[in-house]
Amino acid sequence: MNLPNILNLEQSSLSEFYTNELLQTNEETQKYGLMLTLEDAKQIIKQRNRTLKCYGRIDLNFDAVKKIIRVFSSSTFIDDKNYVDIITGLEETFYYLKNETEDQIGDDKLINIMKNLFENSCEGSVELLNSKLEEFSRTFRKNLS
């Protein structure tokens, strides 16, 4: 077996592992009426990979995405129709903000900041959340200097 085939096999196994990890979040989110399908999980993984590549980031596990799912699944602004779109939007926002704050804020704290804004001043709008977090990151970077 040549190297490209080995790498593809490894990537395929890793993708399957991450898919299963995401599907396991259904145990917690089903009480909110939110369930990921196999296709939903694949879409979230695909978007995460695009986002990481776009922002030049490496993330060796799926903990941040699973935390986003767990924390945001209780939101009254998320239902089964917008669930995957909001999760993929939030994961992109999360990685963007990690870059903008130079990884100076821990994942849990950042996700909690996002959730607080999403629920309160943004009323479930990812676009408004991005705008508010842009302001937050500018202020944060200014205070780092």
pLDDT for the residue numbered 78: 98
Name the residue among 44, 40, 143, 31 with its Cα closest to residue 92.
44
Residue 32 has pLDDT above 80, yes or no: yes
Name the residue among 79, 87, 143, 140 with its Cα closest to residue 115.
87
Q: Is the pTM of this model over 0.75?
A: yes
Mean pLDDT along residues 106-121:
97
Dihedrals phi, psi of 122, to nearest 5 degrees: -100, -10
Average pLDDT, the chain: 90
Look-up of token digits 């508010």 = 132
Could you tell me the residue range of the domain that residue 140 belongs to? Answer: 3-144
pLDDT for the residue numbered 11: 54
Number of domains in the chain: 1
pLDDT for the residue numbered 112: 97
At 97-112, the pLDDT tens digits run 999 999 999 999 999 9
Cα–Cα distance list, 46 to 92, 96, 121, 136 (Å):
12, 16, 30, 28
Residue 10 has pLDDT above 60, yes or no: no
Mean pLDDT along residues 118-142:
94
